[in-house]
Amino acid sequence: MKIHEYQAKTLLRAAGVPVPEGIVCKSADEVAAAFETLGGDLAVVKSQIHAGGRGKGRFKEHPDQAGVVLVRSAAEAKQNAERMLGSTLVTIQTGAEGKQVNTLFVEQGLKIARELYLGIVVDREVGGPVLIMSSEGGMEIEEVAHNHPEKILTEPFDLSAGLFPYQARKLAYALGFDATAVRSAEKFLPKLCKFFVDNDCSMTEINPLVLTEDSQLLALDAKVSFDENALFRHKNLVELRDLSEEDPSEVRAAAAGLSYVNLDGTIGCLVNGAGLAMSTMDIIKLHGAEPANFLDVGGGANVEQVSEAFRIILSDDNVKAVLVNIFGGIMRCDVIVEALLEAYEKVGITVPLVVRLEGTNVEKARKMLDDCDRDIITATDLTDAAQKVVASLSA
């Protein structure tokens, strides 16, 4: 689960991690007032959407307006805010459709000496959390890793003990910090690592992490996401969820206990199990078409969940055919067919439907399909299913 920058900074501040002074605003007038309240001669107005690349992003309605701007007066702050609020910001991470900006975050301007990168993730190989730092602040870390892997420093730390001061010093010296900055790192880095563990984060990324002119570390940006499986023990974090930032179909699917990812193709897929669902997408592509979605109905879905899965798939206008691929283990094939026939009844399936069933109760399920008067195309194996569903597009 992702949260907004301003929410992340509120949490970080509470955890003792230094962040700039900032005020959350919902209107242009609030933005102007925030500039005055912060009291400096420089402030930053930042669009609050979940996607990154906001500084380089531009608004659809105002092609010259950046998603993050430096302003020098309350009037200038207000003018910018009027163009930003309610408009659609397109960044490298939003896709062409962009994201509507409903909230702005106004922060004090800072005297910045250096910009750095900092990220914390769980590394599979290490089997624990790892702190990543780089001298290349503000850059995409993937790009740095690709072009200058030597500029990436990593420091694994123990879950319970946290990051030790010596580990913070090791990184600080490697990054060429002066004595004051090293002392700042000894405090800043362990606190951030503790924040990561205490909140069951999947990722905490501070890009850029800045050194001010008086050699203090400060989180200038903050991107935080949480392990959804651990939200049960963080009721306060659940409240930070902003559903308007998530794909409506994916939200709907999650509510029904389904795992769904919307894609750009034309063949809807309904599959049980994540690996088989990915493989079904692969085989559609191998036969020359594109999948419209990833959908895993899970191991023990009931008729209602499967019907909802059909509704979600069919609500995508790009879907021109549907492939159902079920290998019944716990999931019984006859339940799938029952749901399928119910979906014809209630949802109305107007596109070609190809069904490949194998596993528990498959004979009963096949008989149900044979006995019904629906125009369902049956397939015997994965290849047969892919060929038939791709052929149905041009039929």
Site residues for another protein per CB under 8 A: 119, 121-130, 132, 141-142, 145-146, 149, 152, 154, 158-160, 197, 200, 202-203, 205, 225, 227, 229-230, 232-233, 261, 263, 271-276, 278-286, 290-291, 294, 299-300, 327-330, 358-360, 381-383, 386
Question: Nearer to another protein by C-beta: 60 or 287?
Answer: 287
Q: Closest separation between CB of residue 194 and another protein, Å?
A: 12
Give the 3-state DSSP-derived string for 149-182, with helices as H, strands as E and coil as C.
HHHEEEEECECCCECCHHHHHHHHHHCCCCHHHH
Residue 326: CB atoms within 10 A of its CB come to 28
**Residue 343 corresponds to which amino acid?**
A
To the nearest whole angstrom, how small is the minimum distance from the Cβ of residue 82 to another protein? 32
Cβ of residue 183: shortest distance to another protein, in angstroms? 27
- Tell me which of 6, 117, 260, 344 is the catalytic residue: 117
Cβ neighbours of residue 59 under 8 Å, at least 6 residues apart? Answer: 65, 67, 83, 84, 87, 88, 89, 90, 98, 101
Indicate the residue type of 116. Answer: L
Minimal distance in Å, beta carbon 160 to another protein? 8
Measured CA to CA, the distance from residue 158 to residue 165 in angstroms comes to: 13
Contact criterion met (CB below 8 Å) for 305 and 257 = yes
**Catalytic hit among 186, 205, 260, 308:** 205
Q: What is the DSSP pairing of strand 321-328 with strand 267-271? A: parallel
- Catalytic residue status for 117: yes
In angstroms, give the least distance from the CB of 212 to another protein.
Answer: 26
- Return phi, psi of residue 44, to 5°: -120, 130
Between 164 and 294, CB nearer to another protein: 294
Cβ proximity to another protein: between 64 and 142 the closer is 142
Q: Minimum CB separation from another protein for residue 202, in Å? A: 5
Q: Which residues face 223 on adjacent strands? A: 205
Nearer to another protein, 125 or 371 (CB): 125
Is 191 or 356 the residue whose CB approaches another protein more closely? 356
Cα–Cα distance, 225 to 204 (Å, whole number) = 7
273 backbone φψ class: left, alpha, beta (φ>0; ψ -120 to 50) = left
Query: Residue 333, by phi and psi: left (phi above 0), alpha (psi -120 to 50) or beta?
Result: alpha
Is 61 or 158 the residue whose CB approaches another protein more closely?
A: 158
Residues catalogued as catalytic? 117, 205
